[in-house]
Structure 1
Amino acid sequence: MVVSDEQKVISFWILGIDRNKIPEIYTKLTTDQLLQIAQSYNDEYDLEGVIYPNHGESIFFYEKFEHVEGYSWIINMNVPPSPYGGGDMVSLVFSDEKACVEYMFDPSGYPIAPHSDDD
C-alpha cells in the first residue's frame, strides 16, 4: 500500500501492516520530522547521503522491525560509492517511540551504529 502526504510530495510504502489495523495506527513521528532527524544524523556522522523524499522507495514504515521496540521507519539514502565495494545506499532504521536512529545498514547491508560507543 502506498501512502502519500496531502501535497502528494512524499509517498512511501507501508510494509508489515495488517491493513485492517491502519486506522488504529498513530505514529509519533511525521515524515517531516523523520527527514529532519535523518538529515541531522547524516550531517553529524558525515555520511554524505542524499535523501530523495519524493521517491516512493525512500521512506518505509514497519509495525515491527528487528531490534526496535514499537513502530519503526526506514529511510534510504544514496551515498557515494565506496572504494571497498558494496552499494551506493545506506538505510537508517528509526524508532518511532524514541524518535531517533537506532542503527543503520551500511552499503554492504551490515547493521552498524555510528552513534554507539560500541562500534
Structure 2
Amino acid sequence: MGSEQATVDAVAYEIFHGVSGKWALPVMNLLGEGTLRFNELHAAAEGISHKMLTQTLRGLERDGVVRRLVHPTVPPRVDYSLTEAGQALRGTINGLCGWTRRYLEQIEAARTRFG
C-alpha cells in the first residue's frame, strides 16, 4: 500500500508542477469557457508565444487535462477543450482562488510581518 501511495504522490506532484506553470492556468481557464482552436487560444492568451502555447497544450494533453481533436479537413482544423478531469481540476483551482479571496487580508498581513 505504501508503494502505491508513493506512486500516486509522485504523479500528483508531476501534474501539480505542470499546471503551476505560468501559462497552464490561463489556458485552462480559457478552455473552461468552451472549445477553442489554436489561433483563438493564442489570441486570447495575450503574451504567450506560439512555442510556449504548443508546449503548454502538449503537457496538459499528456496529463489528460486537455483534449485535442483533429478534424480531417484541408487545412486541418484542431480544436482544444478540457476533459472531464480538466473541468474537475479547474473547479479545484477555482476553489484555491476562493480560499485566497477569503484569507487575502490575513495573507497580506503575514507577508507584511515577514518583511
Structure whose alpha-carbon radius of gyration is higher: 2
So what's the TM-score if we normalise by structure 2?
0.26
So what's the TM-score if we normalise by structure 1?
0.26
> Per residue, is there more strand in 1 or in 2?
1
